[in-house]
Amino acid sequence: MITAYISHVDCELHEMGASHPESPQRLQAITAQLGASGLLEQLDCLTPTAAIRDQLALAHPGSYIHEIEALCPRQGYNYADPDTALNPHSFHAARLAAGAVLLGTQRVVSGSCHNAFCAVRPPGHHAEHASAMGFCLFNNIALGVEWALQQTAVERVAVLDFDVHHGNGTVDIFKDRPEVLVCSSFQYPFYPFRYQDIQRPNIVHTPLPAGTASSAFRQAIERDWLPALARHRPDMIFISAGFDAHRDDPLGQLQLDTEDFHWITGLIGEAASRYAGGRILSVLEGGYNLPALGRSAEAHLRALLEAH
Ligand SMILES: [Zn+2]
Protein backbone atom coordinates (compact mmCIF):
# COMPACT_ATOMS: atom_id res chain seq x y z
CA MET A 1 0.00 0.00 0.00
CA ILE A 2 1.10 3.51 -0.79
CA THR A 3 1.09 6.97 0.81
CA ALA A 4 1.20 9.73 -1.79
CA TYR A 5 3.03 13.00 -1.16
CA ILE A 6 1.80 15.77 -3.44
CA SER A 7 3.59 19.09 -3.74
CA HIS A 8 4.70 21.59 -6.37
CA VAL A 9 7.74 23.86 -6.27
CA ASP A 10 5.67 26.75 -7.70
CA CYS A 11 3.69 26.86 -4.42
CA GLU A 12 6.86 28.56 -3.11
CA LEU A 13 6.49 31.47 -5.57
CA HIS A 14 3.53 32.83 -3.60
CA GLU A 15 4.83 35.03 -0.78
CA MET A 16 3.32 37.81 1.27
CA GLY A 17 6.36 39.83 2.40
CA ALA A 18 9.63 39.01 4.15
CA SER A 19 8.21 39.04 7.68
CA HIS A 20 5.01 37.11 6.96
CA PRO A 21 4.83 33.81 8.91
CA GLU A 22 3.06 31.97 6.07
CA SER A 23 6.28 31.81 4.04
CA PRO A 24 7.71 29.69 1.20
CA GLN A 25 10.27 28.39 3.73
CA ARG A 26 7.48 26.35 5.33
CA LEU A 27 7.38 23.92 2.41
CA GLN A 28 11.19 23.85 2.27
CA ALA A 29 11.31 22.94 5.97
CA ILE A 30 8.94 20.00 5.42
CA THR A 31 10.81 18.72 2.37
CA ALA A 32 14.18 19.03 4.13
CA GLN A 33 12.94 17.14 7.20
CA LEU A 34 11.37 14.36 5.13
CA GLY A 35 14.58 14.08 3.11
CA ALA A 36 16.86 13.99 6.15
CA SER A 37 14.72 11.38 7.93
CA GLY A 38 14.60 9.10 4.88
CA LEU A 39 10.81 9.23 4.86
CA LEU A 40 10.58 10.89 1.45
CA GLU A 41 11.92 7.72 -0.20
CA GLN A 42 9.00 5.75 1.24
CA LEU A 43 6.40 8.07 -0.28
CA ASP A 44 4.92 8.15 -3.78
CA CYS A 45 5.82 11.72 -4.78
CA LEU A 46 3.38 13.29 -7.24
CA THR A 47 3.22 16.68 -8.96
CA PRO A 48 -0.21 18.29 -9.44
CA THR A 49 -1.49 20.39 -12.31
CA ALA A 50 -3.26 23.68 -11.58
CA ALA A 51 -6.98 23.43 -10.93
CA ILE A 52 -9.09 24.96 -13.67
CA ARG A 53 -11.92 27.45 -13.11
CA ASP A 54 -14.66 24.79 -13.22
CA GLN A 55 -12.86 22.86 -10.49
CA LEU A 56 -12.52 25.92 -8.25
CA ALA A 57 -16.24 26.45 -8.85
CA LEU A 58 -16.95 23.21 -6.96
CA ALA A 59 -16.82 25.28 -3.75
CA HIS A 60 -16.71 28.95 -4.79
CA PRO A 61 -18.88 31.22 -6.99
CA GLY A 62 -17.48 32.21 -10.37
CA SER A 63 -17.58 35.88 -9.40
CA TYR A 64 -15.32 35.17 -6.41
CA ILE A 65 -12.80 33.20 -8.50
CA HIS A 66 -12.66 36.13 -10.91
CA GLU A 67 -12.22 38.55 -8.00
CA ILE A 68 -9.18 36.63 -6.71
CA GLU A 69 -7.64 36.40 -10.17
CA ALA A 70 -8.18 40.15 -10.69
CA LEU A 71 -6.61 40.87 -7.29
CA CYS A 72 -3.37 39.17 -8.37
CA PRO A 73 -1.00 42.10 -9.11
CA ARG A 74 1.50 42.49 -11.96
CA GLN A 75 4.07 43.52 -9.35
CA GLY A 76 4.15 44.10 -5.60
CA TYR A 77 1.25 43.03 -3.41
CA ASN A 78 -2.50 43.39 -3.23
CA TYR A 79 -4.44 42.51 -0.08
CA ALA A 80 -7.50 40.26 0.17
CA ASP A 81 -7.66 41.02 3.89
CA PRO A 82 -5.13 42.64 6.25
CA ASP A 83 -3.37 39.26 6.79
CA THR A 84 -3.68 37.88 3.27
CA ALA A 85 -1.62 39.28 0.41
CA LEU A 86 -1.33 38.26 -3.22
CA ASN A 87 1.83 38.62 -5.29
CA PRO A 88 2.02 38.01 -9.06
CA HIS A 89 2.26 34.22 -8.50
CA SER A 90 -0.49 33.80 -5.92
CA PHE A 91 -3.35 32.80 -8.23
CA HIS A 92 -1.15 30.18 -9.90
CA ALA A 93 0.04 28.81 -6.54
CA ALA A 94 -3.53 28.70 -5.21
CA ARG A 95 -4.65 26.77 -8.30
CA LEU A 96 -1.78 24.30 -7.75
CA ALA A 97 -2.75 23.86 -4.09
CA ALA A 98 -6.32 23.13 -5.16
CA GLY A 99 -5.08 20.86 -7.95
CA ALA A 100 -2.99 18.87 -5.46
CA VAL A 101 -6.04 18.14 -3.31
CA LEU A 102 -8.07 17.14 -6.38
CA LEU A 103 -5.27 14.83 -7.58
CA GLY A 104 -4.88 13.30 -4.11
CA THR A 105 -8.61 12.77 -3.72
CA GLN A 106 -8.78 11.10 -7.12
CA ARG A 107 -5.83 8.83 -6.28
CA VAL A 108 -7.25 7.82 -2.91
CA VAL A 109 -10.76 7.16 -4.24
CA SER A 110 -9.44 5.14 -7.19
CA GLY A 111 -7.32 3.04 -4.83
CA SER A 112 -4.01 3.84 -6.52
CA CYS A 113 -2.81 5.00 -3.11
CA HIS A 114 -4.07 4.27 0.39
CA ASN A 115 -3.84 7.82 1.66
CA ALA A 116 -2.23 11.09 0.58
CA PHE A 117 -0.73 14.26 2.04
CA CYS A 118 -0.69 17.53 0.10
CA ALA A 119 2.20 19.82 1.12
CA VAL A 120 0.85 22.99 -0.45
CA ARG A 121 0.29 26.68 0.14
CA PRO A 122 -1.59 28.93 0.32
CA PRO A 123 -3.59 27.02 2.94
CA GLY A 124 -7.37 26.86 2.70
CA HIS A 125 -9.48 26.28 5.80
CA HIS A 126 -10.24 29.96 6.55
CA ALA A 127 -11.47 30.63 2.98
CA GLU A 128 -15.25 30.82 3.07
CA HIS A 129 -17.64 30.30 0.15
CA ALA A 130 -17.03 33.83 -1.19
CA SER A 131 -14.34 35.43 0.94
CA ALA A 132 -10.60 35.09 1.43
CA MET A 133 -9.16 35.46 4.90
CA GLY A 134 -6.44 34.25 7.24
CA PHE A 135 -3.74 33.53 4.59
CA CYS A 136 -6.30 31.45 2.56
CA LEU A 137 -7.67 32.12 -0.95
CA PHE A 138 -9.50 28.94 -1.98
CA ASN A 139 -10.70 26.26 0.42
CA ASN A 140 -8.53 23.39 -0.84
CA ILE A 141 -10.08 20.67 1.30
CA ALA A 142 -13.64 21.71 0.42
CA LEU A 143 -12.80 21.30 -3.27
CA GLY A 144 -11.63 17.73 -2.65
CA VAL A 145 -14.74 16.94 -0.61
CA GLU A 146 -17.07 18.37 -3.27
CA TRP A 147 -15.28 16.51 -6.05
CA ALA A 148 -15.49 13.21 -4.16
CA LEU A 149 -19.19 13.69 -3.41
CA GLN A 150 -20.14 14.81 -6.92
CA GLN A 151 -17.89 12.63 -9.09
CA THR A 152 -17.43 9.35 -7.22
CA ALA A 153 -19.36 6.77 -5.20
CA VAL A 154 -18.34 8.52 -1.95
CA GLU A 155 -21.55 9.64 -0.21
CA ARG A 156 -20.52 10.65 3.30
CA VAL A 157 -17.29 12.28 4.37
CA ALA A 158 -15.69 13.65 7.51
CA VAL A 159 -13.37 16.67 7.62
CA LEU A 160 -11.14 16.60 10.71
CA ASP A 161 -9.29 19.84 11.46
CA PHE A 162 -6.65 19.98 14.21
CA ASP A 163 -5.12 23.33 13.23
CA VAL A 164 -4.87 25.70 16.24
CA HIS A 165 -7.39 27.95 14.47
CA HIS A 166 -11.03 27.05 13.92
CA GLY A 167 -11.80 25.96 10.35
CA ASN A 168 -14.42 28.65 9.75
CA GLY A 169 -14.25 28.45 5.97
CA THR A 170 -14.93 24.72 5.91
CA VAL A 171 -17.81 25.18 8.37
CA ASP A 172 -19.23 28.00 6.23
CA ILE A 173 -19.22 25.82 3.12
CA PHE A 174 -20.63 22.65 4.74
CA LYS A 175 -22.81 23.96 7.59
CA ASP A 176 -26.03 22.87 5.86
CA ARG A 177 -24.70 19.69 4.27
CA PRO A 178 -25.54 16.76 6.56
CA GLU A 179 -23.45 14.36 4.47
CA VAL A 180 -20.29 16.25 5.54
CA LEU A 181 -19.25 15.94 9.19
CA VAL A 182 -16.83 18.72 10.20
CA CYS A 183 -14.90 18.34 13.47
CA SER A 184 -12.55 21.18 14.42
CA SER A 185 -10.33 21.51 17.49
CA PHE A 186 -9.04 25.01 18.13
CA GLN A 187 -7.76 27.46 20.69
CA TYR A 188 -10.71 29.44 22.10
CA PRO A 189 -11.29 32.32 22.30
CA PHE A 190 -9.01 33.05 19.36
CA TYR A 191 -8.86 34.01 15.67
CA PRO A 192 -10.90 33.71 13.39
CA PHE A 193 -13.83 34.68 15.71
CA ARG A 194 -16.34 33.33 13.19
CA TYR A 195 -18.67 30.30 13.27
CA GLN A 196 -17.11 29.05 16.52
CA ASP A 197 -20.52 28.79 18.23
CA ILE A 198 -22.73 27.73 15.31
CA GLN A 199 -24.98 24.80 16.23
CA ARG A 200 -25.53 22.11 13.60
CA PRO A 201 -25.81 18.30 13.90
CA ASN A 202 -22.90 17.86 11.46
CA ILE A 203 -20.57 20.43 13.05
CA VAL A 204 -18.49 19.38 16.08
CA HIS A 205 -16.54 22.09 17.90
CA THR A 206 -13.70 21.23 20.27
CA PRO A 207 -12.67 24.55 21.83
CA LEU A 208 -9.48 24.41 23.89
CA PRO A 209 -8.25 27.10 26.30
CA ALA A 210 -4.80 28.62 25.73
CA GLY A 211 -2.19 26.46 27.43
CA THR A 212 -3.95 23.14 26.72
CA ALA A 213 -1.34 20.37 26.51
CA SER A 214 -1.14 16.80 25.29
CA SER A 215 -3.32 14.81 27.68
CA ALA A 216 -6.23 17.29 27.83
CA PHE A 217 -6.09 17.61 24.04
CA ARG A 218 -6.21 13.84 23.57
CA GLN A 219 -9.11 13.47 26.01
CA ALA A 220 -11.10 16.18 24.23
CA ILE A 221 -10.55 14.62 20.80
CA GLU A 222 -11.56 11.15 22.02
CA ARG A 223 -14.63 12.60 23.80
CA ASP A 224 -15.87 14.72 20.86
CA TRP A 225 -14.62 13.20 17.60
CA LEU A 226 -14.87 9.42 18.13
CA PRO A 227 -18.64 9.31 18.86
CA ALA A 228 -19.30 11.71 15.97
CA LEU A 229 -17.31 9.49 13.59
CA ALA A 230 -19.13 6.37 14.86
CA ARG A 231 -22.49 8.04 14.16
CA HIS A 232 -21.51 9.45 10.77
CA ARG A 233 -19.62 6.44 9.37
CA PRO A 234 -17.82 8.39 6.60
CA ASP A 235 -16.79 6.75 3.32
CA MET A 236 -13.68 8.93 3.28
CA ILE A 237 -11.85 11.15 5.77
CA PHE A 238 -10.23 14.48 4.95
CA ILE A 239 -7.72 16.08 7.32
CA SER A 240 -7.01 19.80 7.63
CA ALA A 241 -3.50 19.22 8.97
CA GLY A 242 -2.37 22.40 10.67
CA PHE A 243 0.64 22.05 12.94
CA ASP A 244 0.35 25.44 14.67
CA ALA A 245 -1.02 23.90 17.89
CA HIS A 246 2.61 22.86 18.56
CA ARG A 247 4.07 24.35 21.75
CA ASP A 248 6.84 26.12 19.77
CA ASP A 249 4.48 27.80 17.32
CA PRO A 250 4.63 31.61 17.39
CA LEU A 251 0.95 32.14 16.43
CA GLY A 252 -0.91 29.86 18.87
CA GLN A 253 -0.79 29.22 22.60
CA LEU A 254 -1.59 25.50 22.74
CA GLN A 255 1.12 23.20 24.05
CA LEU A 256 1.11 20.13 21.81
CA ASP A 257 4.24 18.10 21.11
CA THR A 258 5.34 16.51 17.84
CA GLU A 259 4.18 13.14 19.20
CA ASP A 260 0.60 14.42 19.49
CA PHE A 261 0.42 14.80 15.71
CA HIS A 262 1.53 11.19 15.33
CA TRP A 263 -1.11 10.17 17.88
CA ILE A 264 -4.03 12.01 16.30
CA THR A 265 -3.10 10.81 12.81
CA GLY A 266 -3.00 7.25 14.13
CA LEU A 267 -6.42 7.72 15.72
CA ILE A 268 -7.80 9.03 12.43
CA GLY A 269 -6.14 6.11 10.63
CA GLU A 270 -7.99 3.66 12.88
CA ALA A 271 -11.30 5.41 12.18
CA ALA A 272 -10.55 5.39 8.45
CA SER A 273 -9.84 1.65 8.56
CA ARG A 274 -13.04 1.01 10.49
CA TYR A 275 -15.45 3.09 8.39
CA ALA A 276 -13.78 4.32 5.21
CA GLY A 277 -11.67 1.52 3.75
CA GLY A 278 -8.62 3.42 5.00
CA ARG A 279 -9.25 6.35 2.63
CA ILE A 280 -7.59 9.56 3.94
CA LEU A 281 -6.73 12.77 2.12
CA SER A 282 -4.70 15.19 4.24
CA VAL A 283 -3.76 18.75 3.35
CA LEU A 284 -1.39 21.19 5.04
CA GLU A 285 -2.96 24.18 6.76
CA GLY A 286 -0.91 26.15 9.37
CA GLY A 287 2.36 25.62 11.25
CA TYR A 288 4.81 28.53 11.56
CA ASN A 289 7.82 27.43 13.61
CA LEU A 290 9.91 25.91 10.83
CA PRO A 291 11.72 23.14 12.79
CA ALA A 292 8.52 22.19 14.65
CA LEU A 293 6.60 22.21 11.38
CA GLY A 294 9.12 19.88 9.72
CA ARG A 295 9.12 17.42 12.63
CA SER A 296 5.33 17.53 13.02
CA ALA A 297 4.74 16.89 9.33
CA GLU A 298 7.18 13.98 9.52
CA ALA A 299 5.25 12.54 12.50
CA HIS A 300 1.99 12.95 10.56
CA LEU A 301 3.38 11.19 7.49
CA ARG A 302 4.90 8.41 9.55
CA ALA A 303 1.47 7.69 11.01
CA LEU A 304 -0.13 7.81 7.52
CA LEU A 305 2.42 5.20 6.37
CA GLU A 306 1.71 3.06 9.45
CA ALA A 307 -2.05 3.33 8.87
CA HIS A 308 -1.84 0.81 6.06
ZN1 LIG B 1 -3.79 27.92 11.89
Domain boundaries, the chain: 3-306
* Ligand 1 centroid, distance to 36 Cα (angstroms): 26
* Ligand 1 centroid, distance to 112 Cα (angstroms): 30
Report the pLDDT value the prediction gives residue 1, as an integer from 0 to 100.
78
Report the pLDDT value the prediction gives residue 32, as an integer from 0 to 100.
98
* Ligand 1 centroid, distance to 164 Cα (angstroms): 5
* Ligand 1 centroid, distance to 125 Cα (angstroms): 8
* Ligand 1 centroid, distance to 249 Cα (angstroms): 10
Instruction: Kindly tell me the burial class for residue 63, based on how many C-beta atoms sit within 10 Å of its own C-beta (0-12, 13-18, 19 or more).
Output: exposed
* Ligand 1 centroid, distance to 165 Cα (angstroms): 4
Report the pLDDT value the prediction gives residue 227, as an integer from 0 to 100.
98
Q: What pLDDT digit, counting tens, does each position of 1-10 carry?
A: 799 999 999 9
Query: What pTM does this model have?
Result: 0.98
* Ligand 1 centroid, distance to 153 Cα (angstroms): 31
Residues in the chain with pLDDT < 70? 308
Task: Report, as residue numbers or ranges, the catalytic residues.
Answer: 126
Determine the 3-state secondary structure of 113 from DSSP.
coil
Measured from the Cβ of residue 189, the count of other Cβ atoms closer than 10 Å reads: 10
Determine the 3-state secondary structure of 255 from DSSP.
strand
Report the pLDDT value the prediction gives residue 308, as an integer from 0 to 100.
67
Report the pLDDT value the prediction gives residue 56, as an integer from 0 to 100.
98
Q: Under CATH, which number does the domain 3-306 receive? A: 3.40.800.20
Beta strands in the chain (DSSP E): 3-6, 44-46, 78-81, 84-86, 115-118, 157-161, 180-187, 203-208, 236-241, 280-284
- The Cα–Cα gap between 111 and 141 comes to 19
